[in-house]
Amino acid sequence: MKIAVAREIEVCERRVALIPDTVARLVKQGLEVWVEAGAGERAFFSDAAYEAAGATIIANNSKLWGEADILLKVSPPQEREDGRSEVDLLKEGSVIISFLNPLGNPVVAQRLAERKVSAISMEMIPRTTRAQSMDALSSQASIAGYKAVLIAAAALPKYLPMLTTAAGTIAPAKVFIMGAGVAGLQAIATARRLGSVVEAFDIRPAVKEEVQSLGAKFVEIKLDEETTAAGGYAKEISEASKQRTQEIVTEHVKNADVVITTAQVPGKKAPLLVTQEMVAQMKPGSVIVDIAAEQGGNCACTDPGKDIVWNGITIIGPINLPSSMPVHASQLYAKNLTSLMQILIRDKAVHLDFADDIIDAACITHAGEIRSSRIKEALQALGVQQSAVS
């Protein structure tokens, strides 16, 4: 059985699916690993390092994709410059494991089903204790939260920590973090380590203790509806609740030197947390870093992928923050993949056991069918004919 690591062709993607250390572990298990030439270059892992770990370097991408039993990637399959689709390069009956964005772009799942490829989407790994080591969303979100604070600190025309000097005392910066999931909690921890005063808000009251344990003040808002979805994710709330939330957080946004927004809902546009009116009330020189920029942004002024200055406020909408730290992002993602493959491979063969809750949730296509009802609904919402769905 061949496990293949593809080179990412998306311009802003610097991560790689496996690093040499994880390749060596798989090879020790008697598995054959192919790595596409140059796959690890942008993450600073050379072809020579992969060869030393026991991998075979494959320069012909058609051979690598067309003969792989399991194809490992970071970003979803793309259209190549030569006009070929990466989906069409996969052989029938093979397995692809990657971030596939099946709820945001369900057409990719449709095409994989038509190709009769078994697709395992890393976004669909359940948030359970047993699946923690495979939870790539969390491992990559932690990097995003850390990097967002560093970006904010670099853009802020002030110190973050309190400083006492011969010339006087500098007050610490005030950081307000909106969303206390994995990214938000890492942002809180990083901002606190850099010496700022941190407040945090989340619609899920259950995260209050986690926020406080990191030394931040929790901004609590009581809402008359359920705010936590399956798996612990934030749930989309009603317009009335959104209005109440905005009224309360406005004062905290106004007083902050830095606002970091992290709220995302899988498969949907990011909720609006910071209105243009809120931004207008902030102090000149303040900074907003919107981690949700790829999903439309939590701030009304965000321009995805760009840094803009509006009314004296710098609004930064970074895209794919984990890719900006490709060494550790790849290391963590590779660990997620190898943990997953331990339950996927038995006796050196792929074994898709749908009685296993992890495989059942994450395997979105198999034997020409789309297995997820949520993806089927997303396709129906787009008006796509589901020819591969029985």
- Which active-site residues does the annotation give? 127, 132, 135, 138, 233
Exposure of 277 by Cβ count < 10 A (0-12 exposed, 13-18 middle, 19+ buried)? exposed
Torsion angles phi and psi, residue 207, rounded to 5: -85, 0
The one-letter amino acid code at 347 reads D
Exposure of 88 by Cβ count < 10 A (0-12 exposed, 13-18 middle, 19+ buried)? middle
Q: What is the DSSP string of 109-162?
A: HHHHHHTT-EEEEGGG---SSTTGGG-HHHHHHHHHHHHHHHHHHHHSSS-SS-
Q: Apex CA 142: angle with CA 139 and CA 146, to 5°? A: 150
CA atoms within 13 A on the CB side of 198: 29
- Contact present, 55 and 23 (Cβ < 8 Å): yes
Q: What is the rounded CA–CA span in Å between residue 176 and residue 253?
A: 7
